Amino acid sequence: MSPYAATLRDIRAAATRIAPYAHQTPILTSSAIDDMAGRELFFKCENLQKIGAFKFRGALNAILALSDETAARGVVTHSSGNHAQAVALAAHMRGIPATIVMPSTSPAVKQRAVAGYGARIVLCEPTLAAREIDAAKVIDETGATLIHAYNEPRVIAGQGTVALEILAQVPDLDTLVTPVGGGGLLSGTAIAAKALQPDIQVFAGEPSGADDAARSKDAGRLILQTEPNTIADGLLTSLGSNTWPIVRDLVDGIVVVEDAQIRQAMRLIWERMKLVIEPSAAVGLAAVLSGHVPGSRVALVLTGGNLDLDPMFR
């Protein structure tokens, strides 16, 4: 029996379950960025996934796996970002109600996107405690199932399908790199990659202003995030009880980068690859360009492309 919340078998089952609905996103390359990095880089474009982020995979897998009786009572989550949109769309596709608890400070563009997928939005105070309390109220009132953003096993399995695709698309890789926030993508990637190619190295990039995963690895125990502050707003959460053991045991290293490095990496991808990505998606490239990620053939996950464009058009 596996000591972890998800297994390769779970990830393969997730791949089969979501295949009719999720995009198999492309791998793109840039010779200019390769020259800067001094190695071959392969960019997995999850910014081109439905809802503009990898989060759709995990939310869809978790929601499709619910029994009809459970699904009929609906789903709930608390999120201000890509997971909110992912749960809203996945629930819409299954034809079940979804309630998304969002901080009152959530950008209007994100609230519009969630509402556009047919979900009910409950606004709360911008604290984790408030989000959890309001989500619990929805569960008590409706019997809805909580779809956690990263600590739910079927969410982890769904995110692991990214690595399955990468390994099928690009042969002879040395290293896989993802950003890390709550650790769902990193955990799923590590499980899939280490099971299929035990000699591959799995690394993560993490902002210095939200470096709980790096500090946890160094200490050998889970250290929760307290006051995160970074441009990479998708990486503000702490590792969870299910993601931490996987990160602890299977991830080879976490590279901490500054916001200035993240901005530089994001600008490179915008200018050289003509891809719209959000700051969190640039953290992996920032880590590679820092020189602290090994390997001559490295795959990086561009996790999302959901930018708040409202300030540009005021």
pLDDT digits (tens, 9 = 90+) for 210-229: 999 999 999 999 999 888 88
Q: Where among 108, 124, 146 does a domain terminate?
A: 146
Q: Given pLDDT bands bounded at 50, 70 and 90, which one contains residue 251?
A: very high
Segment 130-137 shows an average pLDDT of 92
Would you say residue 192 has pLDDT above 80?
Answer: yes
262-287 average pLDDT score:
97
Residue finishing a domain among 146, 161, 195: 146
Domain-embedded: residue 298: yes
Range of the domain at 186: 8-54+152-307
Give the chain's largest Cα–Cα span: 56
- pLDDT (0 to 100) of residue 104: 86
* Residue 205: pLDDT over 80: yes
Main-chain phi, psi angles of 290, to 5 degrees: -70, -15
Lowest mean pLDDT: which of 24-38, 63-77, 231-245, 249-263?
231-245
Is residue 1 assigned to a domain?
A: no
Checking if the pLDDT of 56 tops 90, the result is yes
Mean per-residue pLDDT over the chain, rounded: 95
Both 50 and 73 in one domain: the answer is no
Give the CATH number, domain containing residue 163.
Answer: 3.40.50.1100
The pLDDT value recorded for residue 226 is 82
- Predicted confidence at residue 264, as pLDDT, reads 98
313 assigned to some structural domain: no
Task: Tell me: do 28 and 174 sit in the same domain.
Answer: yes
Q: Are residues 243 and 133 in the same domain?
A: no
State the pLDDT at residue 128.
Answer: 78
Are 231 and 278 found together in one domain?
A: yes
**Does residue 175 share a domain with residue 209?**
yes
* Segment 128-148 mean pLDDT: 93
Domain assignment present for residue 106? The answer is yes
Residues carrying an active site annotation: 55, 80
Residues 118 and 162 in one domain: no
* Confidence tier at 240 by pLDDT (50, 70, 90): very high
Asked whether residue 69 falls in the same domain as residue 44, the answer is no
pLDDT at 107: 74
